[in-house]
Amino acid sequence: MGLRGKLLLQAKAYVFLLPALCFYLIFLLYPLVNVVRSSFYDINTISQKELFVKFGNYIELFKDHIFLRAIFNTIIYTIAIIIFINALAVIFALILDREKIKGNYFLRVVFFIPAILAPVIIGTIFKRIFAPIGALNLILDKTGLVFLKHNWLGVPWLALAAVIITTVWQSAGWNMVVYFARLRELPKELYEAAAIDGASDLKIVRYIKLPLLREIIAILVVINIIGGFKVFDLVYIMTRGGPAHKTEVVTSFLYYQAFDFFKWGYASTVAVIMLIIMIFFTWLRLRKISWE
């Protein structure tokens, strides 16, 4: 193939890449650049006039006690879902990896079903469950545990716990599939050799299966961190950030600033902070991979 043929082949390749490149530039890169630019302006949504305020939005943001509360809530929420989602997912995966258990395929479906349901449906269902006259309080009433009844979404720390429980129920199944796929890749000879050496099932889990899941756990933790900082739908449907901003998260704070108070520049500042956080955790993970 001559030089002309190579250039023609490369030109054809770029033609195929052009639609994807246009999509990236128009719907991803341009909005991203525009959000960063908007974060340095005070934007009047009525007159569409922009006033350059330099770092004024950023300074105001970190003085805003509601934003600081949202950051704190998001961190607590993220730490909680990382611990409980991965713990539950690993347990589910270890159960399914035991082929001797009856109803193994049925359990796979049961564990994974929440992951395929729309967050709007899940949020609405659990809002009814945690309501003052919802299913949870009715069960407590019928079982004689009346003293445990609460307005679950009306008490600050209970409301955040309710959102966390809902998220864990929804997301554990997806993480379970990843862990289960990794366990199925492991050679059975390892288990057989360990059993011959007298290792119990518990020791096989502790010394063989869990160490070999460590890399997958690290990847899913980063994904869960990003998901934790992006949470919006469940919070918006179940609590709207209340009571008294005790379940306010970064994304709900951004939404209200943009669409309730029409502070576009201020909301863009929140989006930029979120972007920096995502990039930081992604960089940490990529850096760890490069070290390995």
Q: What would the pLDDT profile of 35-54 be if each residue is shown by its tens digit?
A: 999 999 998 777 778 999 99
Q: Calculate mean pLDDT across residues 70-78.
A: 95
Q: Which two tokens stand for residue 115?
A: 């992951």
The parent domain of residue 24 ranges over 3-52
Domain shared by 262 and 137, yes or no? yes
Residue 229 vs residues 72, 108, 129: alpha-carbon distances, Å: 11, 28, 25
Residue 58 lies in a domain: no
Q: Do 269 and 58 contact (CB within 8 A), yes or no? A: yes
Examine residue 57 and state whether it is found in any structural domain, yes or no. no
Confidence category of residue 124, pLDDT binned at 50, 70, 90: very high
Quick one: angle between helices 264-291 and 214-230, nearest 10? 170
pTM over 0.85? The answer is: yes
Task: Report if residue 27 sits inside a domain.
Answer: yes
The verdict on 163 and 252 lying in the same domain is: yes
CATH number at residue 260: 1.10.3720.10
Residue 182 counted as domain residue: yes
Same-domain status, 174 and 152: yes
- Mark whether 21 and 124 lie in a shared domain: no
Retrieve residue 171's tokens: 């997301």
What's the pLDDT tens digit per position in 177-202? 999 998 888 887 887 788 888 888 88
Angle, helix 156-185 to helix 119-129, in steps of 10 degrees: 130
